[in-house]
Amino acid sequence: MTSNARPKPWTEMATHLVDVAMGRKPADLVIRNGRWVNVHSGEIIAGTDIAIAGGRFAYCGPNAGHAIGQGTKVVDAGGRYLVPGLCDAHMHVESGMVTVTEFCRAVIPHGTTSMFIDPHEIANVLGLPGVRLMHDEAIAMPINVHVQMPSCVPSAPGLEHAGAELTVADVAEAMTWENIIGLGEVMNFPGVVANDPVMSGEIAATVKAGKTVGGHYASRDLGLPFHGYVAGGPEDDHEGTRAEDAIARVRQGMKAMLRLGSAWYDVASQIKAVTESGLDPRNFILCTDDSHSGTLVQEGHMDRVVRHAIQQGLKPVTAIQMATLNTAQHFKLERELGSIAPGRLADLLIVSDLAAMTIDEVYARGVRLAKGGKLDIDIPAYDYPKTAKNTVKLGKKLKAKDFDVVAPKGANEVRVRVIGVIENQAPTRALEADLPVEDGLVAMDRRNDVCQIALVERHRGTGGVTNAFVSGFGYMGDCAMASSVAHDSHHIIVVGTNKEDMALAVNRLGEVGGGVVLFSKGKELALVEMPIAGLMSDERAEIVAAKAEKLTEAMRKMGCSLNNAYMQHSLLALVVIPELRISDVGLVDVTTFQKVDLFI
């Protein structure tokens, strides 16, 4: 079987698997003398042999000698652990700055063999055709990449304008596609609570298709709005940040997804629902949500999350359950993946240190894909069409004056609303600051960490610019960083202390078709080109990671010490997570879902 062959359905292979299990036919591969991490029983069973045929497990037991024939490949595990391939239950490939192919290349050596991706980033730029592009690329991968149909494009109707719009009919159509596993995170939670016909229609179409409805309740209010949201149909949620958030979700029959991404550290606080409150861990699932290329290449993927969960006090087997079987069951795929058991896809890891998740070898569909942290195979690049590129349309060349904030007439000082970044969390704070007025224009206050933020419309070339202020990046030098990745509408966000640099940064992204760039005093310090929808690079993951590291270092030199500051930057337009955000409509108070004035 070639490395990218898709195994036949179990229904077409059952008799062959029975023959292999009975010793009537030889296995393709037998792995001997392993310690079987059994996520069904919660045991670690020493002296186990695993027989694989046609990309699926056929026999798991004490001795697979009867399944070894002339053509069988035999691997001695040497007493190491046999762990199911890891699953990422909720993630956005685009946040890795790379394509699905490159994302897979980066994460396979870290033991990820199944991913449940929500391509709502590309959907906000290219609409349904963009989703189809990633859907088709996912099918071509040598691991299991299932796609959730984006539910909220735009994420908050009336508060932003994306590059496209998805309808109930689009969702219903996508539910017929081969590789659509369910509905992506339903971010418009006020719409669900208000029985918005688009939200209720999309959820109904998903349930009718027998698929899973993903949730996203980004509010700390666990009162009636939360209960109304759960009643509306979402089956999981990854937006909790407190133990009480996880407890509330599980008590209502949802799965609590705990995320550890590049900038989201929500596992430690919420896992106390299990370790201290004693809730059933089978209702908890681990995920990453957003991981950029630097994290993937340098720190890991789901292995990093499992390792972190173990460090928070979980037993290794329990943490592994949360990243394997729990995920498979949630997406109704327990018979396909998530465990080492007969009939399932032969996705497994050979691990030498379970608590440290030291992964020696990675197998998917019965084929070894990685050893010693290095890929064994090559995955051909996926060719994106021209229609997926040249999506940054500015409509004009930006100038410094486009970022002027005109003060009320006669004012010497003004009080303004300020977006406050919270390190390692998705929410922001709604802050206020008193800023001086110079020559009729509001000035920044670098000493108190208040610099300027602007959102530049980039889908229709309107030339529109929304100006506001942000705190938390710590920039001290003259600089500006611009990004065409701006969740979820993906206009251009630029944050800076110097308007000339802000204009240069935005214009540079127009030239290269998108990405992220940092300028200081007229000089380009770092650039990561992302020509695919202005969201993804067409280069190898390790090249992108090196460029991203150069960007991070340049940000540090400008005074920014935030952990994964780029990720924080990219979320400043996410008008579905409190408290204060920026959009092409203006400043948005996400606690009330109302546009608010910059001046107080």
Q: What is the CATH number of the domain that holds 29?
A: 2.30.40.10
Q: What is the pLDDT of residue 547?
A: 96
Query: What is the structure's pLDDT at 4?
Result: 53
- Pair 297, 407 in one domain: no
CA 382, 385, 387, 391: dihedral to nearest 10 degrees?
50
Residue 3 has pLDDT above 60, yes or no: no
Q: Give the tens place of pLDDT for each residue, 164-206.
A: 999 999 999 999 999 999 999 999 999 999 999 999 999 999 9
Spatial distance between the Cα atoms of 436 and 415, rounded to a whole number of angstroms: 9
- pLDDT computed for residue 264 by the predictor: 82
Cis preceding linkage at 62, omega within 30: no
pLDDT of residue 564 exceeding 90, the answer is no
456 and 546 fall within a common domain: yes
Half-sphere exposure of 547 (CA within 13 A, CB side): 20
pLDDT exceeds cutoff 50 at 2: no
State whether 397 and 363 are in the same domain.
no
495's tokens: 């944050």
Calculate mean pLDDT across residues 314-331.
Answer: 98
* Residues 25, 113 share a domain: no
Average pLDDT, the chain: 96
Residue 512: CA count within 13 A, CB half-sphere: 21
DSSP secondary structure code for residue 443 in this structure: P
Strands (E), 62-203: 73-76, 81-84, 86-91, 112-117, 144-149, 180-186
pLDDT above 70 as % of the chain: 99
Establish if 156 belongs to a structural domain.
yes
Residue 124 lies in a domain: yes
Query: Does residue 518 sit within a domain?
Result: yes
Question: What is the Cα–Cα distance from 359 to 341, expressed in whole angstroms?
Answer: 20
Helix crossing, 100-107 with 128-139: angle to 10°? 40
Read off the tokens for 306: 């499992």
Q: How far, in whole angstroms, is CA 526 from its chain's centroid?
A: 24
Q: Name the residue with tokens 């192919």.
A: 101
At 426 the pLDDT is: 82
Q: Is the sign of the CA dihedral 543, 545, 547, 549 positive or negative?
A: negative
Residue 37 near residue 320 (C-beta atoms within 8 A): yes
Residue 101 corresponds to which tokens in the numbers above? 């192919």
Domain hosting 96: range is: 83-335+343-374
Domain assignment present for 178: yes
In a domain, 492, yes or no: yes
The answer to the question of residue 415 being in a domain is yes
Check residue 1 and give its pLDDT: 37
**Which of residues 36, 62, 79 is at a domain's end?**
79
* Cβ-count burial 109-146 (b if 16+ within 10 Å, e if not): bbbbbbbbbbbbbbbbbbbbebbbbbbebbbebbbbbb
Domain count, the chain: 3
| Same-domain check for residues 502 and 426 | yes
- From residue 110, give the alpha-carbon distance in Å to each of 102, 171, 494, 544, 578: 14, 33, 33, 18, 33
Written as six digits, the tokens of 545 are 């990671």
Backbone Cα Rg of the chain: 25
Q: Are residues 285 and 366 in the same domain?
A: yes
- Do both 396 and 369 map to the same domain? no
Alpha helices in 166-276 (DSSP H): 168-174, 189-193, 197-208, 224-231, 243-251, 267-270, 272-275
Residue 1 lies in a domain: no
For residue 276, give every residue at least 6 positions away whose Cβ sits within 8 Å of its Cβ, in sequence order, or none: 243
Residue 262: what pLDDT? 81
In contact, 330 and 324? CB cutoff 8 Å: no
Q: Are residues 126 and 20 in the same domain?
A: no
111 and 66 inside one domain: no
At which of 43, 62, 79 does a domain end?
79
Assign 252 to helix, strand or coil.
Answer: coil
Q: Is the same domain home to 75 and 87?
A: no
pLDDT higher than 80, residue 10: yes
Q: Return d(Cα 363, Cα 86) in angstroms, integer.
A: 11
Q: Does residue 571 carry a pLDDT above 50? A: yes
Q: What is the pLDDT of residue 52?
A: 98
Cβ–Cβ < 8 Å for 157, 188: yes
180-186 and 86-91 beta bridge pairing? unpaired
Torsions phi, psi of 137, nearest 5?
-65, -40
Residue range 357-384, pLDDT digits in tens: 999 999 999 999 999 999 999 999 999 9
Residue 201 belongs to some domain of the structure: yes
Burial 183-200 (b: 16+ CB within 10 A, else e): bbbbbbbbbbbeeeebbb
Same domain membership, residue 14 and residue 123: no
Q: For residues 361 and 499, state if they share a domain.
A: no
Lowest mean pLDDT among 261-265, 327-331, 344-348: 261-265
Diameter over CA atoms, the chain: 91
How many Å apart are CA 159 and CA 100, to the nearest integer?
A: 30
Q: What is the mean pLDDT of residues 573-587?
A: 95
Instruction: Say how far apart CA 401 and CA 441 lie, in whole Å.
Output: 10
pLDDT band at 419 (very low <50, low <70, confident <90, very high): very high
What mean pLDDT do residues 293-314 have?
A: 93
**List of residues 6+ apart from 231 with CB closer than 8 A:** none
| Pairing outcome for strands 29-38 and 81-84 | parallel
**CA distances in angstroms from 344 to 7, 85, 89, 325, 328, listed in the order given:** 10, 11, 18, 11, 11
Q: Residue 392 corresponds to which tokens in the numbers above? A: 């940054």
Task: Give residue-wise pLDDT tens across range 490-514.
Answer: 999 999 999 999 999 999 999 999 9
